Amino acid sequence: MTKPKVATTSLAGCFGCHMSILDIDDRILKLVELIDFNKSPVTDIKKFSERCLVGLVEGGCCNEENVHVLQDFRKNCDVLISVGDCAIMGGIPAMRNGISLKECFQEAYQDGVTVYNPSGKIPSDKELPLLLDKVYPCSAIVKMDYHMPGCPPSADTIWETLVALLTNKPLDLPYELIKYD
Amino acid sequence: MNENLEAVIREICQKYANDSARMMDIVRDVQASMGGVSKVAMKAIAAAVGVAQVEVESVVSFYAHLSSESKGKVVIRLCNDFIDRMFGANRVAETFEKEFGIKFGETTDDGLVSLEYTPCIGMCDQPPAALINDRIVTWLSTDMASRIAKAIKEEGNIDKLNLPNGDGNNSHPLVNSMVHNNLREKGDMIFANFVPGAALKNAIAETPVECIKNVKASRLRGRGGAGFPTGMKWEFTRGADGDEKYVLCNADEGEPGTFKDRVILTEAPELMFEGMTVAGYAIGAQSGVVYLRGEYQYLTDFLNDVLQKRRDAGLLGKNILGKEGFNFDIRIQMGAGAYICGEETALISSCEGLRGDPKNRPPFPAQKGYLGKPTSVNNVETFCAVAKIMEKGAPWFAQKGSTGSAGLKLFSVSGDCKKPGVYELPFGTTVKELLQKVGAEDAIAVQVGGACGITVAPNDFDKEICYDHLATGGSVMVFGPGRDLLELAHSFMEFFEEESCGYCTPCRVGNTLLKRRLEYIIEGKGTPEDLIYMETLGNTIKHTSRCGLGQTSANPVLTTLQNFRSLYESKVKPSVDGLQPSFSLDKAVGLSEEIVGRKSIHHHD
Amino acid sequence: MSDKIKFTIDDVEIEAEAGQTILQAADAAGVYIPRLCANKNLTPHGSCRVCTVKVNGRSQAACTQPVAPGINVESESEEIKAYRKSLVEMLFVEGNHYCMFCEKSGNCELQAVAYRLGIDAPKHEYLFPSRDVDASHPEIFIDRNRCILCGRCVRASKELDGKNVFQFVGRGIHKKVAVNSDAKLSDTELAGVDMAVSSCPVGAILRKRVGFAIPVGQRLYDAKPIGSDIEASRTDK
């Protein structure tokens, strides 16, 4: 019997939601009985090698690489879940959305008080993915099936949600488990 | 400088007895004298009338014609509603921009001219039209726009252009306007002969209660569109506690495509004032206020003159027509560019010198209205109908029109038709009959009731225009072959987004969201799910908004979705691979490419 | 007995005093109707529309609609719940609500109502407006990113503090709360103890140097949903 596959990624996030996944502690042993991880920082698999049942996406999209990864996830996963507030609404990175991109660059590479950049150039190496005009929630770029709020969502929330999804049971989270912070 | 400013403001405030309820007049006068209402001016006004500075700011920031920044000596407000754009408003706009070297929304460096767009100014039958300060110019061509621009640049005004005056009282020395009446069909009601005093004489021969009984027997319903029985409204107002009561006339004709009140105000103001006076007698009010939309400022001198003549003739003032104790007078309150003020409680707020926010109901205006006193607010046309009912009798009126909708109604017809203008026809006229009259048999859609009304498809052209089927305050806009109805819906959504007072969540936020989703669809970036989203959102706005504006603001989308669904269906396509078509990576990295100075190398699309 | 008014909310019979609003009567009977702009110490405002109910089939705001004998009020139907969710979601996308670092989180009524309505994420598009922060006042700051335009500060300043510090300016989606000065909050007569400050349901008007005073887990809405206090007094159980 083959186990369902799960992929995870962190886009414009802080890996805090991935930490929260690991926070399920010893239940991770139960989890690997239920699933196999495919593309994920957990396995360090860089490219999808199989179609996945679930994709867990942390972070919103702040650059073109984020967009490509997210679109890749959408193509390779049956069910896509926004994990955490950044995936849902952009989170802390989206605080730049009220400021023009030009000002962001100027502050980061030219005018900021801690900047040392004698050339005054804005980095443009082609290895660097270009920033988007603003930080986008995942749902603005691809269709997301479920949303797991929190910063990060608690380990219990992640555990309960995954188990319900994998065992095809309705999810009924207790009040304390749905939080936006 | 500041001392001078304060002196001017003190004088203006004194003119209105330092009464904060006259804030609209005060800020309008300050703006007229200083080109804007600056923070310093706000502070001075606040001190003079005894309110907080932020209250003055609140009012100034609400109305489109008021501004905290100084505007140009000449402000050109070009109407950019859908009808005006159909007839070339965009080309006229380009001409003005080229002539003055500025964009719309800007003021020339020398402070001479500001260019602004404005929603419907009540000239849809003579488009494109614009307001040049208080003066209206109609049937604008690019050529005329150039001439206007040159005159302004040379003379600072357009007086020397000698623009020809319009027909009827538009040529009256106190009006002196190039506006045309386009009065295409007169019934035997509003534009029939009327001897001032004829209605009042009959009214005062009866008791006020009998008067109201007559209005009820006539089955007259409000002509503004909502259709509340007028007699009942008066009865409530008369029955409410208090000696001080008010009659308010809603002349804030702002529904896109409506201009019939403008023609009444020009050709039959006596009838309207007489109807108001009858109302004063019937409900026991001593004062009336006509709330006139800012766009019709050009009519004020004329209307005030008519009021003075009525005072001189004993038809206004103390002991009217010799009736002991029957005292009633009328003043005109100018608006300043806010569609919402056509909503009766918002109109009251504005008359009280406040932002034009609607009020919570209950209490209803009949119980607690203007200045907290029992108030009846009726439409211009309703007062005219009342006067005719008093003159000719309730049965005469009641037998006209259709079962649920008695009487004749004025229709303002505009758009793709041979004879745009005002028609006085019985309620119950079908869309088809109207289209024949106006010369528009090839119409592909008719907008009945203005932006908040219904976009009617040809298979419904047999429906009757009346309160029970297709309700309208008068606006009928006709669209011929080739017109894009999704663009029409979009222009109405832009209108509602702009005109929402912002008080309640669904209207303030919902309309912005609805408009944006519609834009995606028009751009070909919509999915079938978006149609369901718009329907759900539209219904939420409809069922949770606080006032009539909000409750009808989703209609442009909801009624086109209902009657022209195939137009939407041909635009949307299912998303491929679960991608959101509204997102474009090209667009999203465009700014970055510009700043960093290289193209994206990951581009797939 | 005779001046009591009887009506029903979701088929439960409620007794009310004449002159009460539906919301007041429901509160007294231990029936919670979600709300944001309403506050029991302030004049009803009717702006957030979250307390929308159907009265004899017609939509009304429970906070402004008076009770009447025999009315049939529908509050927890699927239709009404969907409206409420949509409205609260509108408030989230209209502003910039970063719960993760907001001092009000856990004590925020917007957040708490969203929890109670079971909102996982707004279904509307985020608008990401540019809004400003005014930290000029020594004790208080305004972060307009978090403002939901409920008008509680406007009313509290007038009705409870006897001042006139706040008022709305602009209209439509550009409407915002302004302060009674040329520009800055520090130039107004606002004091740290003013009810206008404590009445803010979200983190838009906050006292400085308070920060995250209450540990996570012990905050107002950490363990129990908003409205639990009202429901605790329910009489018909």
pLDDT tens-place string over residues C45-101: 999 999 999 999 999 999 999 999 999 999 999 999 999 999 999 999 999 999 999
The verdict on B324 and B381 lying in the same domain is yes
C223/A176 touch (CB, cutoff 8 Å), yes or no = yes
The verdict on B305 and B263 lying in the same domain is yes
- Of A64, A122, A143, nearest to B585 by CB-CB distance is A64
The first and second tokens of residue B252, run together, are 């804030």
Instruction: Provide the shortest C-alpha distance from residue C105 to chain B (in Å).
Output: 22
The verdict on C65 and C136 lying in the same domain is no
> Looking at the predicted structure, is the pLDDT value of residue B252 above 60?
yes
3-state secondary structure chain C: CCCEEEEEECCEEEEEECCCEHHHHHHHCCCCCCCCCCCCCCCCCCCCCCCEEEECCEEEECCCCECCCCCEEECCCHHHHHHHHHHHHHHHHHCCCCHHHCCCCCCCHHHHHHHHHCCCCCCCCCCCCCCCEECCCCCEEEEHHHCCCCCHHHHHHHHCCCCCCEEEECCHHHCEEEECCCCCHHHCCCCCCCHHHHCCCCCCEEECCCCCCCCCCCCCCCCCCCCHHHHHCCCCC
The verdict on B505 and B437 lying in the same domain is no
Considering the domain boundaries, does residue A68 fall inside one?
yes
Mean pLDDT of chain B: 96
Least reliable range by pLDDT among A158-162, B3-7, C17-21: B3-7
The verdict on B529 and B560 lying in the same domain is yes
Considering the domain boundaries, does residue B475 fall inside one?
yes
The verdict on C69 and C109 lying in the same domain is no
C111/A180 touch (CB, cutoff 8 Å), yes or no = yes
Per-residue pLDDT, B603: 53
Surface-to-core class of residue B468, CB atoms within 10 Å of its CB (0-12 exposed, 13-18 middle, 19+ buried): middle
- Of B54, B516, B537, nearest to C86 by CB-CB distance is B537
The verdict on B81 and B41 lying in the same domain is no
Per-residue pLDDT, B271: 98
The verdict on B244 and B385 lying in the same domain is yes
Spell out which residues of chain A touch residue B591, defining contact as CB-CB under 8 Å.
101-102, 133
**Which whole-number Å values give the CA distances from C28 to C10, C45, C84, C224, in the listed order?**
16, 19, 22, 19
> Does A124 touch chain B if contact means CB atoms closer than 8 Å?
yes
Domain CATH code at residue B457? 3.10.20.600
Spell out which residues of chain C touch residue B511, defining contact as CB-CB under 8 Å.
172-173
> Does B504 touch chain C if contact means CB atoms closer than 8 Å?
yes
How many domains are there within chain B? 5
Instruction: Provide the shortest C-alpha distance from residue A25 to chain C (in Å).
Output: 21
Domain that residue A158 falls in: 5-95+133-177
Per-residue pLDDT, A1: 62
Domain CATH code at residue C143? 3.30.70.20
Spell out which residues of chain C touch residue A148, defining contact as CB-CB under 8 Å.
120
The verdict on C64 and C119 lying in the same domain is no
Of the candidates B63, B16, B5, B113, the one whose C-alpha atom is nearest the C-alpha of residue B354 is B63
Domain CATH code at residue B111? 3.40.30.10
Surface-to-core class of residue B395, CB atoms within 10 Å of its CB (0-12 exposed, 13-18 middle, 19+ buried): exposed
> Which chains have 3+ CB pairs within 8 A of A?
B, C
C94/B508 touch (CB, cutoff 8 Å), yes or no = yes
The verdict on C68 and C109 lying in the same domain is no
B596/A130 touch (CB, cutoff 8 Å), yes or no = yes
The verdict on C196 and C126 lying in the same domain is yes
* ipTM of this complex prediction, to 2 decimal places: 0.97
> Does B597 touch chain A if contact means CB atoms closer than 8 Å?
yes
The verdict on C105 and C203 lying in the same domain is yes
Average pLDDT over residues A159-174: 91
The C-alpha atoms of residue C237 and residue C220 are separated, in whole angstroms, by 25
Q: How confident is the model at residue B601 (pLDDT cuts 50, 70, 90)?
A: confident
The verdict on C71 and C104 lying in the same domain is no
pLDDT, tens only, B213-237: 999 999 999 999 889 999 999 999 9
Average pLDDT over residues B543-552: 97
Considering the domain boundaries, does residue C212 fall inside one?
no
The C-alpha atoms of residue A63 and residue B377 are separated, in whole angstroms, by 57
Q: Give the chain A residue whose CA is nearest to the CA of C126.
A: A89
The verdict on B474 and B489 lying in the same domain is no
The C-alpha atoms of residue C124 and residue B513 are separated, in whole angstroms, by 7
Spell out which residues of chain A touch residue C216, defining contact as CB-CB under 8 Å.
181
Spell out which residues of chain C touch residue B39, defining contact as CB-CB under 8 Å.
182-183
Considering the domain boundaries, does residue A169 fall inside one?
yes
DSSP run (H or E) holding B183? strand B183-185
Q: How confident is the model at residue B605 (pLDDT cuts 50, 70, 90)?
A: very low
pLDDT, tens only, B477-519: 999 999 999 999 999 999 999 999 999 999 999 999 999 999 9
- Of C105, C121, C125, nearest to A88 by CB-CB distance is C121
Spell out which residues of chain B touch residue C167, defining contact as CB-CB under 8 Å.
52, 54-55, 57-58
A67/B595 touch (CB, cutoff 8 Å), yes or no = no
**Which whole-number Å values give the CA distances from A75 to A71, A141, B579, B581, in the listed order?**
6, 13, 9, 15
Check: CB of residue B411 under 8 Å from CB of residue B474. Answer: yes
B506/C49 touch (CB, cutoff 8 Å), yes or no = yes
B508/C64 touch (CB, cutoff 8 Å), yes or no = no
Residue to mutate among C100, C113, C124, C145, with most A CBs inside 10 A, is: C100
Check: CB of residue C36 under 8 Å from CB of residue C148. Answer: yes
Check: CB of residue B78 under 8 Å from CB of residue B91. Answer: no
B580/A140 touch (CB, cutoff 8 Å), yes or no = yes
Ramachandran angles phi, psi of A91, nearest 5°: 65, -155
pLDDT, tens only, B58-76: 999 999 999 999 999 999 9
Considering the domain boundaries, does residue A115 fall inside one?
no
The verdict on C184 and C124 lying in the same domain is yes
Check: CB of residue C231 under 8 Å from CB of residue C29. Answer: no
The C-alpha atoms of residue A173 and residue B4 are separated, in whole angstroms, by 68
C180/B54 touch (CB, cutoff 8 Å), yes or no = yes
Tell me: cis bond preceding B395? Omega within 30 of 0 counts: no
Domain that residue C46 falls in: 4-76
pLDDT, tens only, B411-469: 999 999 999 999 999 999 999 999 999 999 999 999 999 999 999 999 999 999 999 99
> Does B339 touch chain C if contact means CB atoms closer than 8 Å?
no
Residues B470, B383, B20: CA angle, nearest 5 degrees: 105
Residue to mutate among B589, B599, B601, with most A CBs inside 10 A, is: B589
Instruction: Provide the shortest C-alpha distance from residue C229 to chain A (in Å).
Output: 16
Per-residue pLDDT, B228: 95
> Does B526 touch chain C if contact means CB atoms closer than 8 Å?
no
Considering the domain boundaries, does residue C237 fall inside one?
no
Instruction: Provide the shortest C-alpha distance from residue A27 to chain B (in Å).
Output: 32
Return the bridge partners of C54, or none: C59, C74
Considering the domain boundaries, does residue C22 fall inside one?
yes
The C-alpha atoms of residue B314 and residue C146 are separated, in whole angstroms, by 59
Percent of the residues in chain B that have a pLDDT greater than 90, as a whole number: 97
Considering the domain boundaries, does residue A152 fall inside one?
yes
Considering the domain boundaries, does residue B47 fall inside one?
yes
A133/B589 touch (CB, cutoff 8 Å), yes or no = yes
B578/A141 touch (CB, cutoff 8 Å), yes or no = no
The verdict on B262 and B375 lying in the same domain is yes
Return the bridge partners of B415, or none: B478
pLDDT, tens only, C195-217: 999 999 999 999 999 999 999 99
Per-residue pLDDT, A160: 94
Considering the domain boundaries, does residue B385 fall inside one?
yes
The verdict on B298 and B228 lying in the same domain is yes
Considering the domain boundaries, does residue A63 fall inside one?
yes
The verdict on B227 and B320 lying in the same domain is yes
- Of B579, B591, B601, nearest to A133 by CB-CB distance is B591
Instruction: Provide the shortest C-alpha distance from residue C100 to chain A (in Å).
Output: 4
- Of A65, A80, A122, nearest to B596 by CB-CB distance is A122
B513/C125 touch (CB, cutoff 8 Å), yes or no = yes
Helix, strand, coil % over all residues of chain B, rounded to 5: 45, 15, 40
Spell out which residues of chain B touch residue A102, defining contact as CB-CB under 8 Å.
591, 595
> Does B600 touch chain A if contact means CB atoms closer than 8 Å?
yes
Spell out which residues of chain B touch residue C44, defining contact as CB-CB under 8 Å.
360
> Which chains have 3+ CB pairs within 8 A of B?
A, C
> Looking at the predicted structure, is the pLDDT value of residue A76 above 70?
yes
> Which of the listed residues B352, B370, B398 is the one where a domain comes to its end?
B398
Per-residue pLDDT, C154: 98
Per-residue pLDDT, A126: 87
Q: How confident is the model at residue C3 (pLDDT cuts 50, 70, 90)?
A: confident
The verdict on B304 and B349 lying in the same domain is yes
The C-alpha atoms of residue B285 and residue B280 are separated, in whole angstroms, by 5
Q: Name, in order, each residue with C-beta under 8 angstroms of A30's C-beta and a sequence gap of 6 or more.
A: none
The verdict on B560 and B531 lying in the same domain is yes
Considering the domain boundaries, does residue B305 fall inside one?
yes
Spell out which residues of chain B touch residue C171, defining contact as CB-CB under 8 Å.
61-62, 338, 340, 355, 499-502
The verdict on C203 and C107 lying in the same domain is yes
Of the candidates B42, B33, B40, B98, the one whose C-alpha atom is nearest the C-alpha of residue B71 is B33
Mean pLDDT of chain C: 96
B598/A71 touch (CB, cutoff 8 Å), yes or no = no
Q: How confident is the model at residue B3 (pLDDT cuts 50, 70, 90)?
A: confident
Spell out which residues of chain B touch residue A105, defining contact as CB-CB under 8 Å.
595
What type of residue sits at position B490? H
Domain CATH code at residue C62? 3.10.20.740
A146/C128 touch (CB, cutoff 8 Å), yes or no = no
> Does A171 touch chain C if contact means CB atoms closer than 8 Å?
no
Residue to mutate among C90, C91, C92, with most B CBs inside 10 A, is: C90
The C-alpha atoms of residue B292 and residue B297 are separated, in whole angstroms, by 8
Residue to mutate among C99, C102, C104, C218, with most A CBs inside 10 A, is: C99
> Which chains have 3+ CB pairs within 8 A of C?
A, B
B317: which DSSP letter?
B
Q: How confident is the model at residue A2 (pLDDT cuts 50, 70, 90)?
A: confident
How many domains are there within chain A? 1
> Looking at the predicted structure, is the pLDDT value of residue A172 above 90?
no
Spell out which residues of chain B touch residue C47, defining contact as CB-CB under 8 Å.
503-505, 546
Considering the domain boundaries, does residue B176 fall inside one?
no
Per-residue pLDDT, B225: 84
Number of inter-chain CB pairs under 8 A, A vs C: 66
Average pLDDT over residues B19-25: 98
Spell out which residues of chain C touch residue B508, defining contact as CB-CB under 8 Å.
94, 149, 172-173, 175
The verdict on C40 and C110 lying in the same domain is no
Domain that residue B79 falls in: 74-163
